[in-house]
Amino acid sequence: MLEVFRDYINSKTSITDAAFEVIKSLCIVKKLRKKQYLLQEGDTWKYHAFICKGCLRAYRIDDKGVEHTTKFAIENHWTGDRAALLSGEPASYNIDAIEDSVLLLITNENFITICKEVPAFNEMINTILNKSFVANENRIHAAISYSAEENYQNFLRNSPDIANRVPQHMIASYLGISPETLSRIRNQAAKRQS
Amino acid sequence: MLEVFRDYINSKTSITDAAFEVIKSLCIVKKLRKKQYLLQEGDTWKYHAFICKGCLRAYRIDDKGVEHTTKFAIENHWTGDRAALLSGEPASYNIDAIEDSVLLLITNENFITICKEVPAFNEMINTILNKSFVANENRIHAAISYSAEENYQNFLRNSPDIANRVPQHMIASYLGISPETLSRIRNQAAKRQS
DNA sequence: TGATGTTCTTGATAAATGTCAATTGTTTTT
DNA sequence: AAAAACAATTGACATTTATCAAGAACATCA
């Protein structure tokens, strides 16, 4: 599965074979069966996780026991609990596999080492961080600005690859609406089509 | 106003006087009167903006002409349109002053120079970026998980300094609810108190 | 192939929030 | 100080979304 990671890096920057060997040696391959947890609320979390194959979701559980999906991650995405990683505090997110998945884990310590040793990798990571920062800003804007239906249509438009792979009730949770509401939105949209 | 910036840096890290002189020489002092724009949708945006004094808001305008406030910024905060800065595309945000304000502007180019020249500054910026990344994740979680009232109470709890300074209808816009709804939420909360 | 659990849909109803319009209160400007 | 502009409140009503309950559709797996 390490070729997936190599291809990913190559698509974003250019590093030497030697540099990749270093990176490779610090990667832990982790396989997850569908429904298995990568991380549970309360755990400590020390990794950057790159997805070679599969699909995961990160979510929090509120006082009423309801799950709220904060993000999905598929091939060539990163996931983890950034807050917990940076602070050392117990995780507030749960992350589990929606499909059988293969990940690469890199401890934050090793990750920092790689960034120091391989400037191109560091650059790449900075760019990714910036992009996801902007993506988060856009998601905030969407959440406060648009109706449930608009948000759903935008999600379909922007993330068709994810929309096709994850169960509908998780999309509802991601959008902050009930599964019933999403079902009705789809139903009405379909009617309008015809 | 540069002492404010110096104090801010000192509170986060430690840099030499010489380093600060370099930084200082690259800062542009910008004064804004209340209601004046720092940035308008469509403008190009090249700066990192640090607020020495005052209060600003960033917002977008939807197709119906409604403003949606995405963030507030007061003393010792940074603001700007990160997406536009990184991409070079025209800004999609408007930023204006809620009070008479004094900012320091640093062009992205100079900013990068400073980060290279002054490692401690670079570290500081990284930490800030990470923290606001996490703050954004929390805001997303809040937006999809909690009711209007819960979000308002959390806002009061987490940002009393801002809540006291900005008009109520902007808080409503920040929370993604109508001004009337916020007024009613406050009213009901007040009744419950007594 | 059943049997089981999960997911999705649908209906009835309740609750939350938005919209429009009028009114009052508060700042700003002249 | 008066006028004008802006901000907040309130009421009546519409719309959106949530909740609860039931059943249908689908997937999983023993």
Span B81-109, pLDDT tens digits: 999 999 999 999 999 999 999 999 999 99
* A173/B130 Cβ within 8 A: no
CB contact under 8 A, B137 and A82: yes
Chain B closest-CA separation from residue A19 CA (Å): 23
Residue A99: DSSP 8-state: S
Cα nearest neighbour of A83 on chain B:
B134
Residue A55 φ then ψ, to 5°: -155, 130
Q: Is the pLDDT of residue B194 over 90?
A: no
- The C-alpha atoms of residue B27 and residue B124 are separated, in whole angstroms, by 17
> What ranges do the domains of chain A cover?
2-132, 146-194
Work out the mean pLDDT of chain B and round it to a whole number: 96
pLDDT band, residue B7 (cuts 50/70/90):
very high
Chain A CA closest to residue B93: A141
> Could you confirm whether domain A2-132 is CATH 3.40.47.10?
no
Q: How far is B141 from chain A (nearest CA, A)?
A: 6
Looking at residue A165, its pLDDT comes to 95
Picking from B70, B129, B134, the nearest residue to A83 by CB comes out as: B134
What is the percent of chain B with per-residue pLDDT over 90, rounded to a whole number? 94
% of residues, chain A, pLDDT over 90:
94
CATH of B2-119, one of 1.10.150.120, 3.30.70.330, 2.60.120.10, 3.40.47.10: 2.60.120.10
pLDDT at A102 over 70: yes
The minimal CB distance from A136 to the residues B69, B140, B176 is found for B140
A130: nearest Cα among B75, B7, B48: B48
Across A125-143, average pLDDT = 97
Q: What pLDDT sits at residue A84?
A: 98
Structure confidence by residue, pLDDT tens digits, A158-183: 999 999 999 999 999 999 999 999 99
Q: Helix or strand or coil: residue A34?
A: coil
Q: For residue B52, what pLDDT band results from cuts at 50, 70 and 90?
A: very high
Q: Which nucleotide is nearest to B147 (CA to C1')?
A: C16
Q: Each residue of B55-74: pLDDT tens digit? A: 999 999 988 889 999 999 99
* DSSP assignment of A47-58: EEEEEEESEEEE
Residues 149-178 of A with CB under 7 A from strand C: 167-169
